[in-house]
């Protein structure tokens, strides 16, 4: 297995940042991008191995082929061992001390292939693991370009002009204060006081018997 936790079959592609402008064109372009990225990701996981929805690890083709080659080399090494043993039995030299040398010679190529396999297999899996992460990074970079294009297409809604000023209604006329009823200047009655001349005349008339 590769260096790192097994990857899930369904990649977790990041959503657009909060507040990013999207439109119908972005939605269509992002769907095409997502489809292509997921196909690339699945191609890598089929080679690398992955975890299915139930949590089971499904080995990839690289590891399956590595195990097949490992078993094949093990079988060939056993066959080489049997072949050397059979030849020495036929020659009567099975216990002559030469068996080890002949066996090492017969298995030399197989041992080299086995060592090379054990060196190459982890390296291939690590490269695939890194490649899978790179594909997700490619989606992020390309999606950022799609979001930038959508933002460039964005036309803010026109701000409506301010309403025409409405003439303020004329102020209501101020009612004049109620008129006061004019009261005529009626002269006050004067009390008649007898004058001195009148009093003298009356006194004289009384003396004369009038």
Tokens 């009612």 — which residue? 175
Is the model's pLDDT at 170 over the cut of 70?
no
Give the pLDDT score at 163: 78
Mean pLDDT on 189-203: 53
Is the model's pLDDT at 200 over the cut of 80?
no
- The SS3 assignment for 210 reads coil
Is the model's pLDDT at 31 over the cut of 70?
yes
Half-sphere exposure of 154 (CA within 13 A, CB side): 13
Banded model confidence at residue 34, pLDDT cuts 50, 70, 90: very high
Q: What are phi and psi of 45, to 5 degrees?
A: -65, -30
Give the Cα separation of 193 and 191 in Å (integer): 6
Mean pLDDT on 97-121: 88
Is the model's pLDDT at 125 over the cut of 90?
yes
Give the pLDDT score at 49: 95
Is the model's pLDDT at 100 over the cut of 80?
no
Percentage, residues of the chain above pLDDT 90 = 52
Tokens 């940042």 — which residue? 17
Give the pLDDT score at 106: 87
> Residue 188 is encoded by which pair of tokens?
């006050």
Is the model's pLDDT at 183 over the cut of 70?
no
The per-residue pLDDT of the chain, averaged, comes to: 83
Give the pLDDT score at 47: 96
Banded model confidence at residue 166, pLDDT cuts 50, 70, 90: low
Is pLDDT larger for residue 147 or for residue 187? 147
Q: How far apart are the first and last CA of the chain?
A: 166
Range name among 131-145, 159-173, 189-203 with the lowest pLDDT average:
189-203
Listing DSSP states for 67-112 in one string gives HHHHHHHHHHHHHHHHHHHHHHHHHT-TTSS-HHHHHHHHHHHHHH
Give the Cα separation of 86 and 54 in Å (integer): 50
Residue closest to 23 by CA, chosen among 149, 150, 139, 140: 150
Is the model's pLDDT at 46 over the cut of 60?
yes
């Amino acid at each position: 297995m590769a260096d790192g936790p097994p990857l899930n079959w369904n990649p977790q592609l990041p959503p657009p940042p909060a507040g990013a402008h999207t439109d119908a064109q972005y939605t269509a372009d992002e769907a095409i991008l997502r489809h292509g990225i997921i196909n690339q990701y699945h191609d890598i996981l089929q080679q690398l191995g992955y975890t299915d929805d139930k949590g089971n690890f499904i080995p990839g083709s690289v590891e399956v082929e590595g195990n097949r080659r490992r078993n094949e080399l093990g079988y060939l090494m056993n066959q080489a061992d049997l072949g050397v043993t059979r030849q020495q039995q036929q020659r009567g030299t099975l216990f002559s001390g030469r068996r080890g040398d002949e066996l090492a010679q017969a298995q030399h190529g197989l041992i080299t292939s086995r060592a090379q396999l054990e060196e190459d297999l982890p390296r291939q899996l690590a490269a695939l693991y890194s490649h899978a992460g790179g594909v997700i990074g490619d989606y992020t970079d390309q999606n950022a370009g799609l979001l930038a294009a959508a933002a460039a297409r964005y036309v803010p809604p026109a701000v409506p002009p301010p309403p025409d000023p409405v003439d303020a209604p004329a102020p209501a006329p101020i009612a004049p204060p109620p008129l006061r009823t004019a009261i005529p200047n009626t002269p006050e009655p004067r009390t008649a006081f007898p004058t001195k001349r009148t009093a003298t005349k009356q006194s004289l008339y009384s003396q004369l018997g009038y």
